[in-house]
Amino acid sequence: MIQKPSIPKGTRDFGQREMAARNYIFDTVRSVFKSFGYSQIETPAMENLGTLLGKYGEEGDKLLYRILNSGDAFGAVDFEKPLAPQVCEKGLRYDLTVPFARYVVQHQGEISFPFKRFQIQPVWRADRPQKGRYREFYQCDVDAIGSKSLLCELELVQIVARVFELLDLRVCMKINNRKVLSGLAEVCGFPDKVVDITVAIDKLDKIGLEAVEEELLEKGLTAEAVEILRPVLLLEGSFEEKLAVMRSLMGASAEGQRGLDELEELFGLIRSAGVVMPCEMDLSLARGLNYYTGAIFEVKALDWQIGSICGGGRYDNLTGIFGLPDMSGVGVSFGADRIYDVLTGLGKFPDDISSGADLLFANMGRAELDYVLPIASALRGAGLSVEVYPDAAKLKKQFDYCDRKGMRFLSVCGENEVASGTVQIKNLATGEQVSFGVEDIDGMAAFVRG
Amino acid sequence: MIQKPSIPKGTRDFGQREMAARNYIFDTVRSVFKSFGYSQIETPAMENLGTLLGKYGEEGDKLLYRILNSGDAFGAVDFEKPLAPQVCEKGLRYDLTVPFARYVVQHQGEISFPFKRFQIQPVWRADRPQKGRYREFYQCDVDAIGSKSLLCELELVQIVARVFELLDLRVCMKINNRKVLSGLAEVCGFPDKVVDITVAIDKLDKIGLEAVEEELLEKGLTAEAVEILRPVLLLEGSFEEKLAVMRSLMGASAEGQRGLDELEELFGLIRSAGVVMPCEMDLSLARGLNYYTGAIFEVKALDWQIGSICGGGRYDNLTGIFGLPDMSGVGVSFGADRIYDVLTGLGKFPDDISSGADLLFANMGRAELDYVLPIASALRGAGLSVEVYPDAAKLKKQFDYCDRKGMRFLSVCGENEVASGTVQIKNLATGEQVSFGVEDIDGMAAFVRG
């Protein structure tokens, strides 16, 4: 029976072009991570379900892909009890954060802390597929764990700045601090409403001051509390001006003042290090609120409308659930799919990333191959990417192949070239054709390299 | 509840050292594949079970990891019928070959044939874990599909030779041809016993001539048939000598003579292209016999006892099951785990692949950071990998970190250096310490680069 081939909904094949574009992004972040001394790790796609369950909330548990036990999975099940837990012991990685926490605890004896690691691997989520949301996608995380120093935050800011500088994207980094948000909730008298308050403030740009204040009242805040928060909603000016307003607003909240201290120190370090990327304090940034304990980061592209393309923050108890308390860390995750979309939208991928080989030798028959094969080998040795067309097909067909694969140079070595010991190489873009002596590998390589 | 962290049996974490070693192998093969004009693709980890089932034999079907349908997988099942097929529609990739075939058929309209692709991705098998056998491991496949030219075979031989030259491993490539094996079975009168005959011949080195002949008799061959095959068992000498014996033995078998033609042409091309790696005709090579239709390849390390570290062959109907007949292709697969073991065993990994950053700046406090941070940034810009220790900890602790992470250079910038505008950098291996003016980034970079 012939099967019409397809792949599961929400998954993708990556062809030459997509791979080249994605590798361009990954190679860029990888080179930057390495230049800061971060080292790469990989963890298995399958984790024990015990490692994954309960880490992403009830909704997250439902989105985990479970793997049926091998062998006779249903052999000894009790049909009176829920079946899934009895027949599945393993699940696919849902993100890179929980496997990282597991890794740190499991390998703590071998790790030199502070541990600076990065990880670029796919994750799987049984989400409803839709435009821009996939069931298999790559995450690209960089974290430093085992130090509370704000130098770690600075390093991430520097990494983000350098990555987007290399990718030639104009971005802005928004920075908040969880302690400031807690302090705000504290000074207005509703310490348990941190999330409601932040979510409301976050809508300021979209719905305006009055609507935000209405929402705060709806969420149960008093008019006095809303009054106290108003300066936050009106906050503007330089970092120093915002900080001064917040300092006075925060008053006696020790937590809030500590958060402001951290922001002040981090912005000082950013200035010291000469970071050019614009960074701004943004108190509405609520990302991963239940999780982060200090700095919160988010990066937006300035020239393309899309959600955040990178984000993260500091967490204080990532590894606690696996038995290693008091491991403070900070990390960011680069959204490879969105960065891909922005680079595509702005036409920022370099022209040559998905090109094929540099040079094609046409196949003129067996006798000419004896002449061409050693030359092709020598040119590869000189660093070029070289193809020899496999069949002695019509030249038209060979030219088409050369063209469709985007090769820029072509060489046709026939009887005459063999007899005269020469190699003609043609630049297909300019039409320029140069003749080389068969020994002049360096000359040929230089011509193709341009 | 605190969970003791672990990973599923047969899976592995890859730390900095293992990653660096593995990336060294992958980067090497990738660079060689690209130099021959092969382009990289990736397919999803999850395939529809319909794509995978029945492709690896009954045993293979049992080794597929199945993924439980998301949502209420057991909601509508008929408990009278087998459950697994009702609750699992997807499975994890078992190899890269079947997904490649599916890819070629699904994307045939976008592909320029001959299609030269490589793919480096993990695969999963519910095999019993044991030493050197994992449930998750990387495959590294390179194939050319859509041409019957033996130039494709040659290219793979060249690729193999170049990869192991770059990895500095001495290897030998054994080459057989399925058509020759069919011819042998034909001329001895047992055309349906190709596999039995090849398996028996394969044991020659281990069990000797007599035992092989006994086995052939046990498998039902007549004494006359065994007599006919004896020259194959006694085959020795140069390629030409072996070929002459085989030509006469093969007599009127058109299939067998075609196989010998192919071997002769391929060895001629190998000579033409100047391949230095030893290649030998080996008629006992039976690898993937049910699958290959022409050339069969296997690569062995000469200085380390282990099974084959690379292998492959030509297939004529890979894509037929998905509705695209007559697509001949040829490919090889590099065994990354075994190559890793050989490189480790022979101490052939370069010394510097798993080293940390080049240089650590000690952290002497906030004031000195203002001085150090821009220097560290500039050195990264100059291409170095540079860390700044995050905490102003005791120098002993900072030195230990530097040492454990294998960094080769250290700089301690204290009050004196700041005051005098200098930077001391120490080579930890030699003890040499050099002082640079703070502006002399090029000098510092050159010293560290060595």
Contacts of B118 by beta carbon, 8 Å cutoff, 6+ apart: B29, B30, B33, B38, B39, B40, B41, B140, B141, B142, B143
Q: Does A106 contact B37 at a Cβ distance shorter than 8 Å? A: no
Q: Does A19 contact B41 at a Cβ distance shorter than 8 Å? A: yes
Mutate to test the interface with A, among B27, B68, B410 (most CBs of A within 10 A): B68
pTM of the predicted structure, to 2 decimals = 0.94
- Residue B2's pLDDT is 64
- Residue A195's pLDDT is 86
- Please name the residue of chain B whose CA is at the shortest distance from the CA of residue A272: B370
Q: Does A16 contact B322 at a Cβ distance shorter than 8 Å? A: no
Q: Does B5 contact A51 at a Cβ distance shorter than 8 Å? A: yes
Q: Does B46 contact A124 at a Cβ distance shorter than 8 Å? A: yes
Contacts of A103 by beta carbon, 8 Å cutoff, 6+ apart: A41, A43, B5, B13
Q: Is residue B10 part of a domain?
A: no
Asked if pLDDT for residue B355 goes beyond 90, the answer is no
Q: Does B374 contact A62 at a Cβ distance shorter than 8 Å? A: no
Taking CA atoms, A33 is separated from A332, B387, B434, in Å, by 11, 11, 27
Give the span between the Cα atoms of A180 and A250, in whole angstroms. 8
Asked if pLDDT for residue B3 goes beyond 70, the answer is no
Quick: pLDDT tens for A290-333: 789 999 999 999 999 998 999 999 999 889 989 999 999 999 99
Find where tokens 């006992």 sit: B284
- Please name the residue of chain B whose CA is at the shortest distance from the CA of residue A144: B390
Of B322, B313, B325, B316, nearest in space to B101 by CA: B322
Residue in B136, B144, B356 closest to A45 by CB: B136
Q: Is residue A317 part of a domain?
A: no
Among A216, A241, A276, identify where a domain stops: A276
Q: Does A391 contact B149 at a Cβ distance shorter than 8 Å? A: yes
A226 is in which domain, residue-wise?
A: 177-276
Give the span between the Cα atoms of A246 and B247, in whole angstroms. 92
β-pair type (A136-145, A115-124): antiparallel
Q: Is residue A442 part of a domain?
A: yes
Q: Is residue B129 part of a domain?
A: no
Give the span between the Cα atoms of B263 and B239, in whole angstroms. 10
DSSP 8-state assignment for residue A129: P
Of B95, B45, B42, nearest in space to B67 by CA: B45
Asked if pLDDT for residue B307 goes beyond 70, the answer is yes
- Residue A132's pLDDT is 79
Residue B352's pLDDT band (cuts 50, 70, 90): confident
Q: Is residue A194 part of a domain?
A: yes
Q: Is residue A248 part of a domain?
A: yes
Residues of B in contact with A391 (CB under 8 A): 114, 147-149, 151
ipTM value: 0.93
Q: Are residues A272 and A363 in the same domain?
A: no
Residues of B in contact with A122 (CB under 8 A): 45
Quick: pLDDT tens for B261-282: 999 999 999 999 999 999 999 9
Q: Is residue A235 part of a domain?
A: yes
Q: Is there a contact between A411 and A424 (Cβ–Cβ < 8 Å)?
A: yes
Using alpha carbons only, how large is chain B's radius of gyration in Å?
29
Quick: pLDDT tens for A75-120: 889 989 999 999 999 999 999 999 999 999 999 999 999 999 999 9
Residue B115's pLDDT band (cuts 50, 70, 90): very high
Residues of A in contact with B45 (CB under 8 A): 45, 92, 122, 124, 136
Give the span between the Cα atoms of B195 and A422, in whole angstroms. 49
Q: Does A68 contact B88 at a Cβ distance shorter than 8 Å? A: yes
Give the span between the Cα atoms of B378 and B388, in whole angstroms. 13
Among B221, B251, B276, identify where a domain stops: B276
Contacts of A154 by beta carbon, 8 Å cutoff, 6+ apart: A266, A269, A270, A273, B373
- Residue B61's pLDDT is 92
Give the span between the Cα atoms of A326 and A55, in whole angstroms. 18
A118-138 b/e with 16+ CB inside 10 Å = b?
bbbbbbbbbeeeeeeebbbbb
Helix (H, G, I), strand (E, B) or coil at A178: helix
> What total number of domains does chain B contain?
2
Residue in B67, B103, B384 closest to A67 by CB: B67
- Please name the residue of chain A whose CA is at the shortest distance from the CA of residue B63: A70
Asked if pLDDT for residue B289 goes beyond 70, the answer is no
Mutate to test the interface with B, among A110, A157, A321, A380 (most CBs of B within 10 A): A380
CATH at B424: 3.40.50.800
Using alpha carbons only, how large is chain A's radius of gyration in Å?
29
Between A129 and B393, residue with greater pLDDT: B393
Q: Is there a contact between B36 and B159 (Cβ–Cβ < 8 Å)?
A: yes
Give the span between the Cα atoms of B404 and B180, in whole angstroms. 57
Among B255, B276, B297, identify where a domain stops: B276
Instruction: Go through chain A and tell me how many residues it has.
Output: 450
| Paired strand residues for A289 | none
Q: Is residue B36 part of a domain?
A: no
Give the span between the Cα atoms of A21 and A353, in whole angstroms. 7
- Please name the residue of chain B whose CA is at the shortest distance from the CA of residue A62: B71
Give Dmax over CA atoms of chain B in angstroms.
96
Taking CA atoms, A433 is separated from A359, A444, B327, in Å, by 13, 11, 36
